[in-house]
Amino acid sequence: MMTLTVREIAQLSHGLVSDLADPAAPVIGPVVVDSRRVTRGCLFVAVSGARVDGHEFVAQAVADGAPVVLASRPVAVPAVVVGDTVRALGDLARGYLHRLASPVVVGITGSSGKTGTKDIVGQLLTTLAPTVAPEGSLNTEVGLPLTVLRADADTRYLVLEYSARGLDHIAYLCGIARPQVGIVLNVGAAHLGEFGSRTAVAQAKGELVEALPDDGLAVLNADDDAVVAMASRTGARVVTFGLGRQADIRAVDVVLDELARPTFRMLTARGDVEVSLSLHGAHHVSNALAAAAVALELGLDVEAVAAGLARSQAVSRWRMQVSERSDGVVVINDAYNANPESMKAALAALGAMGSGGDSARTPRRMRAVLGVMAELGPTAATAHREVGAAAALIGVHQLVVVGTAAQGIADGAIEAGLDPARITVVDGVAEAVSLVEKDLSHGDIVLVKASRSADLQRVAEALLGGPNSQAGAHE
């Protein structure tokens, strides 16, 4: 972050400097909402969450080195006092971004794959110029401004993830950081419970391209009708990506290796190139094409894009994170979150690995430990059964369903013909681990996936010998 004085923070956040604070004191950043992340010179923002109220930690934050805190009421430490700290954080980020030498903001939205794509875009653009991208999945009215505030005078590209749980959420985030380039990945069933319909999800995601300036660029998924339709909602130029013929940037001849890593030929207006991803799962082809579209637009040539894509790693943890144990067992930790599309994508990847990839090496036994998909509303029952059917279709050797809320997965698998003897519904993590561990043998592949609330990364970690011993773990 570029240094700001307490007075400047108050001006940008429309707040008042409390008597205890020195208006001229410098704040060097970072801006944090978690008191455990306070470092000397940082700004602590007290956010009232569902479980904890940040105002309870202001004294600790100052003791740990914050020269000032942002609070919604006078507190007994130096503060900038505002009406609503989340709004004020947004105002601060907006005002701060205006002061920078206008970095190009690349915005990413969609139901699945925002963080994964953000990581690819970030890794490609860093090869061009200083780039700031969120840590993990900071994509809300709190997380997005925190990332904006990490940029500084040298930042040329600012990659941001825009999430929505309702209408106007993305428009609000675009009001803080207006994207110049906007990617819409897909419109799926994530958070359907809150939105009510896929049409409403599309309406919300499209707010990203509505915010683009006329000289901006909308990067749209040609394979998703609801995304293509967003072209009419923007004055910006449109570039499409996908596997279908109509896409401007297109992947053909997609082949998966024995760990479901895709290789394909990328066709672009600037030439064609062979691409091999280090990421696992055919669904990453689409994300890689979207990232390629942005990188080509911003000045990388096709060869450099292909090289950058080949190097791109899954830097955010628990998303298709593939680790091999010393005994040859492969564990896929995809437990970060789950919705019907990402469940089916993960099962397709498991199926590809189980059959030995497209070059048909030796088949391997597939096991799936699956838990609930949350926030799906009335579609939840059908969605769980469909996932069970998908597991049956790839022919899993063992299906462990964790938690009765996910029972539908077991029912769907049985309906689709999977031998009930291969299916067990268990209560929790410990039971799932011991069940899978019991007859695991060399070469078996275990997929672990559910919504965040199910905490299934603990299953993957236990299978790999504990949270700290996990090979290739990333924050």
Positions in the binding site for ligand ATP (CB under 6 A): 110, 112-116, 137, 139, 163, 185-186, 281, 283, 286-287, 319-320, 334, 336-337, 341-342, 345-346
Q: How many CB atoms lie within 10 A of CB 211?
A: 22
User: Residue 316 CB, nearest distance to ligand ATP (Å)?
Assistant: 6
CB of 35 to ligand ATP, least distance (A): 24
CA atoms of 119 and 266, how far apart (whole Å)? 19
Structure tokens at 145: 């401004």
* Residue written as token pair 């462990």: 400
| Residue with smaller CB distance to ligand ATP, 88 or 346 | 346
How crowded is residue 348: how many other Cβ atoms within 10 Å of its Cβ? 18
In the complex, least distance from residue 336 CB atom to ligand ATP, rounded to whole angstroms: 5
Which is closer to ligand ATP, CB of 8 or CB of 334? 334
In the bound complex, what is the minimum distance in angstroms from residue 231's beta carbon to ligand ATP?
Answer: 19
Which one of the spans 130-138, 265-273, 285-293, 345-353 is the region binding Mg ion (CB under 5 A)? 130-138
Q: Which of residues 38-97 bind Mg ion (CB under 5 A)?
A: none
Cα–Cα distance list, 11 to 92, 103, 237 (Å): 8, 22, 36
List 109, 123, 131, 137, residue binding Mg ion (CB under 5 A): 137
**Of 114, 284, 319, 385, which lies in the binding site for Mg ion, with binding defined by CB under 5 A?**
114
For Mg ion, which is the closer residue by CB, 18 or 163?
163
What 414-421 contacts at long range (C-beta under 8 Å, 24+ apart), as own/partner pairs, is: 414/388, 415/385, 415/388, 415/389, 416/388, 416/389, 416/392, 417/392, 418/388, 418/391, 418/392
Number of residues that bind Mg ion (CB under 5 A): 3
CB of 275 to Mg ion, least distance (A): 23
Q: Give the three-state DSSP class for 448.
A: strand
Q: Which is nearer to Mg ion, 67 or 116 (CB)?
A: 116
* Residue 336 interaction partner, one of Mg ion, ligand ATP, none, beta carbon < 5-8 Å per kind: ligand ATP
413 close to 392: Cβ distance less than 8 angstroms: yes
The Cβ of residue 215 has, within 10 Å, a number of other Cβ atoms equal to: 9
Count Cβ atoms below 10 Å from residue 214 Cβ, excluding itself.
8
Residues that bind Mg ion (CB under 5 A): 114-115, 137
